Structure 1
């Protein structure tokens, strides 16, 4: 199916979510910190990111802000997981928020919906080989000396 970047500092959470995502047919790339996730994003573009909020070093919220600052990644869906409730005083930079323990079926359905929406947007884009529209009209080659 599609590649999902899974970010969490807890190996047990990584393992459980990796199994669930792979059982749905997704390829999973693992990162144990926000910094490692940013490094992996430079090498591979996933269809979606699932990240934990509370991690040492760079937390999930900072990871989201840094992803949104990169034009190539700005529209990438991000699912935030946290043991704490979603903060109401911030404007979120993630696409969806799930409080742990999250309902796994609902989480996986959300992953599939976001990936399907992203694939639909990508398929509507103009193919790379097609020239960009221009207001300039081509000149007849016979007019040139």
Structure 2
């Protein structure tokens, strides 16, 4: 099944994204910080990562840089969602395939996700 990692310290946002993506046929895994996401990446191999910018310990750009430097995870597409620092993500097209400001349009996010990684509906 197509797996998406959602990284956000705002659990309500992570849950909303998770429920919406699962309704579309994706398997989701959530992490509340960049460090927890990195621990999840040790055991999960997601086809897409959606991350917040501002999180405790490791922000979304730091997480993305670490993912990009990894030998097997480096090509995984990443989406950044941010309340106020979206411009920092836009300045890094080497890290993110898309940047959304919070609050985000869930339908636009779902459409982008489908274009990047189709759900495995088998």
Give the match's secondary structure for 1:80. strand
- Alpha-carbon shift at residue 87 of structure 1 (Å): 2.8
TM-score, normalised on structure 2?
A: 0.89
- Distance (whole Å) between structure 1 residues aligned to residue 89 and residue 23 of structure 2: 33
TM-score, normalised on structure 1?
A: 0.75
Match of 1:99 among 95, 98, 101: 101
Match of 2:114 among 112, 115, 126: 112
Query: Which structure has more RCO (C-alpha within 8 Å, separation ≥ 6)?
Result: 2
What are the within-5 Å matches in structure 2 for residues 45-124 of structure 1? 45-84=45-84, 85-87=86-88, 90-92=91-93, 93-116=95-118
Q: How many residues align?
A: 117
- Distance (whole Å) between structure 1 residues aligned to residue 18 and residue 65 of structure 2: 24
- Distance (whole Å) between structure 2 residues aligned to residue 86 and residue 20 of structure 1: 26
- Distance (whole Å) between structure 1 residues aligned to residue 59 and residue 42 of structure 2: 18
- Looking at CA atoms only, which structure, 1 or 2, has the larger radius of gyration? 1
| Structure 1 segments of 4+ aligned residues over 6 angstroms from their partners | none
Q: Residue deviations 1:91-120, cap 9 Å, x none? A: 34112101111111110111111114xx9x
RMSD (CA atoms):
1.7
- Distance (whole Å) between structure 2 residues aligned to residue 58 and residue 45 of structure 1: 20
- Alpha-carbon shift at residue 36 of structure 1 (Å): 0.7
Q: Residues 40, 106 of structure 1: CA spacing in aligned structure 2 closer, same or farther, 3 A cutoff? A: same
Note the residue ranges of structure 1 that are not aligned, 5 or more in a row. Answer: 120-145
